[in-house]
Chains A and B, each alone.
Chain A
Amino acid sequence: GENVEQHPSTLSVQEGDSAVIKCTYSDSASNYFPWYKQELGKGPQLIIDIRSNVGEKKDQRIAVTLNKTAKHFSLHITETQPEDSAVYFCAAYTGGFKTIFGAGTRLFVKA
């Protein structure tokens, strides 16, 4: 069935360093790839997304890249800050109702 694999499950970086989270999807019909951030005690919140007709998108310190041929997409956070500490989920959407989520990456940013 459709699935999204996400790595690593845990990531610890020093404040100011970059963080990269990688995902692989299985359904070649997927056309939309959102990233959600879940802070402690809150629900996931969309932080950035990318559509299949775009290879890269950037929003301040956050960027996403998409390689449709390899079915890979990645989240890049530069100049990390303690408030970036959270659980991050990647997801893939093919159409209709179903968004498939990755298992999540817990990011720790050490001050």
Chain B
Amino acid sequence: DADVTQTPRNRITKTGKRIMLECSQTKGHDRMYWYRQDPGLGLQLIYYSFDVKDINKGEISDGYSVSRQAQAKFSLSLESAIPNQTALYFCATSDPRGSYNEQFFGPGTRLTVL
């Protein structure tokens, strides 16, 4: 089955550490996204990429960076983690040829920053 996978699934780290969250997809989609989920706030867009050479900031990009290593891989980095970055992080893909930007989500990474 074509899928979206994320590693790690859970991570506990300390303030000031550098963290990388990885996303891979076998759907063949060009568009990839990173979202953050906090209780009561829904899904907030951090970064998105429409192809390997395209990187764009979302609504909450401060403190994060991304790398699109290939069509299938999109990584999110926290250069110096802080406690208020504790959240659930989702990677998603969409197919620009499809209608209306339906998004396919990975299983999420639960990040705790102590």
The answer to whether B42 touches A43, judged by C-beta atoms less than 8 angstroms apart, is no
Contact of A98 among B40, B45, B106, B108 (CB under 8 A): B45
The answer to whether B42 touches A6, judged by C-beta atoms less than 8 angstroms apart, is yes
Determine which residue in A43, A49, A98, A101 has the highest number of CB atoms from chain B within 10 A of its CB, and name it: A43
Chain A positions within 8 Å of B92 at CB level: 43
Given A6-B42, A43-B4, A44-B43, A93-B107 contact (CB < 8 Å): no
A103 and chain B: residue at smallest CB distance = B42
Separation of A103 and B92 alpha carbons in the complex (Å): 18
Separation of A104 and B42 alpha carbons in the complex (Å): 6
The answer to whether B105 touches A45, judged by C-beta atoms less than 8 angstroms apart, is yes
B37 to chain A, nearest CB (A): 8
Chain A positions within 8 Å of B31 at CB level: 97
Chain B positions within 8 Å of A51 at CB level: 100
The answer to whether B100 touches A43, judged by C-beta atoms less than 8 angstroms apart, is no
The answer to whether B40 touches A99, judged by C-beta atoms less than 8 angstroms apart, is no
Q: Give how many B residues have a beta carbon under 8 Å from the other chain's beta carbons.
A: 21
B72 to chain A, nearest CB (A): 17
Separation of A104 and B103 alpha carbons in the complex (Å): 16
The answer to whether B40 touches A103, judged by C-beta atoms less than 8 angstroms apart, is yes
A88 to chain B, nearest CB (A): 11
Given A42-B108, A97-B48, A32-B100 contact (CB < 8 Å): yes
Chain A positions within 8 Å of B43 at CB level: 44, 89, 101
Chain B positions within 8 Å of A104 at CB level: 40, 42
Chain B positions within 8 Å of A54 at CB level: none
Chain A positions within 8 Å of B102 at CB level: 34, 46, 49
20 A-B residue pairings within 8 Å (CB atoms): A4-B42, A9-B40, A32-B99, A32-B100, A34-B100, A43-B90, A43-B105, A43-B107, A44-B90, A44-B103, A45-B105, A46-B103, A49-B100, A49-B102, A97-B50, A97-B101, A101-B43, A103-B41, A103-B42, A104-B42
